[in-house]
Structure 1
């Protein structure tokens, strides 16, 4: 039953591919509604919050990228991602930051979530937990643990997992560095019983008051990084390194994609040609594999999943592919992986292979 629910949820995702990242087109209202549903059903619900640093790391670290590919929702937590989405005509319009999500959950008056605070330095988590309970807000702290600076393996001991699970929390808020947090969440995904899991990064510092968050104007205009450097001067090295890498990605991938998208005709009629056999199903696609044509493909995917069949997608007759279709490929890959089934992509022309490369989704072609 839980497996069917997960597949249904996956099929409903409005998921897009953005330079190798999965990004959901979701606003705060629908996000919180999805979280409440997962809490009510006590279903695992992993949220990732990609920003520029996540984008850069995902191109360098396969395991880190996989942690987002396996997430139930990926939020655009960074204005540069919104700008890139606009450049590439991907309809991601709203920044959904982890810190803002934490604040909105706090401010709710109609429902209260039990939260476990994991990580942070010193006694920050304990202080934030006491503050939450003193305020009687939308978050009730039911557990706190600062595990120190051990490895992912050391932080995954049976004692640590048991303490988190015993709390009965609805939300597990992780305050480790991005790579360690994502690796830890992925490693312990099937051992945790807390339904909502997410890495909230610097939120713990904002909530404790040790670091002031940037004013709303700087956050909305994409210059929050300047404020962060003022508050935490050591961050300039990370922002400088990420900025250089981002410029290279924009120049070598995003701009060529934007030009290609504006020169490509997308009116070609789309069709799906299924071929069923004992080993699986081959879905031959023709025309423009774009957002407007996604609904034509999904019923065939749904039936293949129900029949427990591997899927081969033949793109030999596809003329163009956009971000929404890359999102569908990632979603199909994830649905099949849940059942130990494979997705194979074949018939990729040199022109279409270039589109995969510019979108940083070459790894989808390597899956067998």
Structure 2
């Protein structure tokens, strides 16, 4: 939840978004992003990147290639910390080496779970402003593994190619497939059913109450994308007050993905100054909406 941007890396995410009418139109894998950064206009300043991870020698080879090509990326450091624990790969020497590089971007090439854990653990110690997990991109860039043809990527069958190239990955995709089906059954389909009556939920009133210690924003009606602009203005003003921020949802009929995104951004802004986003008045029905969207953690604590 420390990210400003999360990529939709996977065609199943695009399919689920379409089912839920969330406007995500294109899959962007980490390797796609890395390629676009490489192909950016290098006539001006280049994005300085630190390459972290990958098999022995790969980061050095890819870094040398980036600098030789005069691409949109300039490698200012690389390190393979081995296959230790998160704690071992978060030593002061490693963090100091990354920070001293002057990088704009840390490109992490661990497995997804380990990369996420490493980035979260070291979030406040790292100086480079952009950090991202690029996974197997290091292998594609080094040429040790071939990426799937564009047709397979666009149709959602890149996983079959990956298994052909790296047979051990079948366990990962088997686990991912089961998790996807569980998500479809327990969250996506119930959300689709709960959203059937949205056409009758047209209005949203935003009521602001303020005292010496807090600002309360009451959402009365349907907190859906068409009303997001007005909510953004009110939330921005509330943040500028530097007071405790409370969202009153006691009369909120529905909350969609756009508003959950707003809540996450507000929560991050508040966390940066040691405050929490507080909710009050959540009904049982609305708590179910939070739970189905996997945002139930936002409701704790409640005032």
Match of 1:30 in 2: none
Q: Which moved more, 1:295-304 or 1:144-153?
A: 295-304
Query: Shift in Å at residue 290 of structure 1?
Result: 0.4
Match of 2:59 in 1: 125
The answer to whether the Cα contact below 8 Å between 1:99 and 1:200 also exists between their aligned partners in 2 is yes
Matching residue within 255, 268, 275 for 1:341: 275
The answer to whether the Cα contact below 8 Å between 1:142 and 1:167 also exists between their aligned partners in 2 is yes
Query: Shift in Å at residue 191 of structure 1?
Result: 2.3
SS of the residue corresponding to residue 63 of structure 2 reads helix
CA distance in 1, matches of 2:125, 2:289: 38
The answer to whether the Cα contact below 8 Å between 1:266 and 1:320 also exists between their aligned partners in 2 is no
The answer to whether the Cα contact below 8 Å between 1:286 and 1:318 also exists between their aligned partners in 2 is yes
CA distance in 2, matches of 1:225, 1:86: 20
Match of 2:169 in 1: 235
Q: In the TM superposition, what are the counterparts of 1:243-282 in structure 2 within 5 Å?
A: 243-282=177-216
Q: Which moved more, 1:222-231 or 1:150-159?
A: 150-159
Q: Which moved more, 1:230-239 or 1:267-276?
A: 267-276
Unaligned runs of 5+ in 1: 1-68
The answer to whether the Cα contact below 8 Å between 1:170 and 1:194 also exists between their aligned partners in 2 is yes
1:106 aligned to 2:38? yes
Looking at both structures, which has the greater relative contact order when contacts are Cα pairs under 8 Å and sequence separation is at least 6?
A: 1
The answer to whether the Cα contact below 8 Å between 1:308 and 1:339 also exists between their aligned partners in 2 is no
1:76 aligned to 2:23? no
Match of 2:116 in 1: 182
CA distance in 1, matches of 2:47, 2:5: 19
Match of 2:71 in 1: 137
SS of the residue corresponding to residue 250 of structure 2 reads strand
Aligned in 2, Cα 1:367/1:214: closer, same or farther, shift over 3 Å?
A: farther
1:328 aligned to 2:275? no
1:301 aligned to 2:245? no
Per the normalisation by structure 1, the TM-score is 0.78
Unaligned runs of 5+ in 2: none
Query: Greater CA radius of gyration, 1 or 2?
Result: 2
Query: Shift in Å at residue 279 of structure 1?
Result: 2.7
Query: Shift in Å at residue 266 of structure 1?
Result: 4.4
Query: Shift in Å at residue 78 of structure 1?
Result: 1.0
SS of the residue corresponding to residue 13 of structure 2 reads helix
Query: Shift in Å at residue 223 of structure 1?
Result: 0.8
Per the normalisation by structure 2, the TM-score is 0.94
The answer to whether the Cα contact below 8 Å between 1:333 and 1:343 also exists between their aligned partners in 2 is yes
CA distance in 2, matches of 1:340, 1:233: 46
Q: Which moved more, 1:240-249 or 1:110-119?
A: 110-119
Give the length in aligned residue pairs.
300
CA distance in 2, matches of 1:151, 1:108: 35
Computed over aligned residues only, the root mean square deviation of the Cα atoms, in angstroms, reads 1.5
Query: Shift in Å at residue 106 of structure 1?
Result: 1.4
Q: Which moved more, 1:301-310 or 1:257-266?
A: 257-266
Measured against aligned partners, the alpha-carbon deviations of 1:59-81 in whole angstroms (never above 9, x if no partner) come to: xxxxxxxxxx1111111111111
